[in-house]
Amino acid sequence: MTDPRKPREMLGTVLDQLENWKMTPEETDENHEALMALARLAEGLQWLYEQTVAAEVRAARRFKRDGVVMAILTDVDAPAPLGAVACWFQWYAVSACNYAQLVGWLRHGDSERAKDYVRLVMPRLLAYRHKVAAHLALTEPKKTDNEADLLASVESGVTYGGGRLWAGSLSRGVKVDGEEQFGNADLSWCLTRAHEMLMGPRYWPRGIPKHYPAIRLPPGTTTMKFDFDDGLPNPPFGARDASAPGQGAHG
């Protein structure tokens, strides 16, 4: 008999719909915190997707009116602040890979097998994460990176094509010893297509999971510590300097 006090999706969990990786109710309960981390990642990924969809609709309306089928976005024609759109792609790639790696770890209980799973299910997002989103290849080059790979990591702008926004789709040849070379890594990907065709069917065919803000504590005494020292000068709860650059509203 099921416990009516527990949310339906927490009675048992399917980690990967395509692989049919199921957790028992007992495993679901034991891994509550990890599953809540997945749910928070899913909510964040969904938000990034919705922002990008809205930007794509605005871009498509403008470009179709002008007869444009593909374009490199600039500050003039970007459907949202260009830096924000670029960050959406970077945040999505990092968070999607975190999501998949945690799924792999919950399934296998092994870090290397979890990484192998990410390489299997989202190789393009993982490549973009490694070369652009998590750290720029220019600042952390690998032996397989050529000059074009290093340039692409800092030149990876946002483009428009097929009614969608893309990252990593534009690559520029670099002359090395008189010969033109292009990057070795395939970095081109579309956030909305990844969400609709990769993440959604595999992880959330019936919608993203819910997360609950409550902290579960074991029986007995639990000690908790808050640390608001960020290592920066001036106390964090002190008066805000109105002349500080980049300052925004802070309640």
Angle formed by the axes of helices 32-65 and 82-108, to 10°?
150
- 94/151 Cα distance (integer angstroms): 20
Q: Which amino acid is at 109?
A: G
Domain limits for position 134: 19-203
- 57/165 Cα distance (integer angstroms): 10
Strands 189-190 and 21-23: unpaired
Tally of domains in the chain:
1
Over residues 104-157, the pLDDT tens digits come to 999 999 999 999 999 999 999 999 999 998 898 889 989 888 888 888 888 868
C-alpha dihedral sign at 176, 180, 184, 190 = positive
In this predicted structure, the answer to whether residue 214 has a pLDDT above a threshold of 90 is: no
Over residues 29-86, the pLDDT tens digits come to 899 999 999 999 999 999 999 999 999 999 898 888 889 888 888 776 667 788 899 9
Question: Is there a domain that residue 62 lies in?
Answer: yes
Cβ density class 228-237: b for 16+ within 10 Å, e for less: eeeeeeeeee
Average pLDDT, the chain: 85
Question: Is there a domain that residue 168 lies in?
Answer: yes
Band of pLDDT at residue 6, cut at 50, 70 and 90: very low
Question: Is there a domain that residue 209 lies in?
Answer: no
Question: Is there a domain that residue 218 lies in?
Answer: no
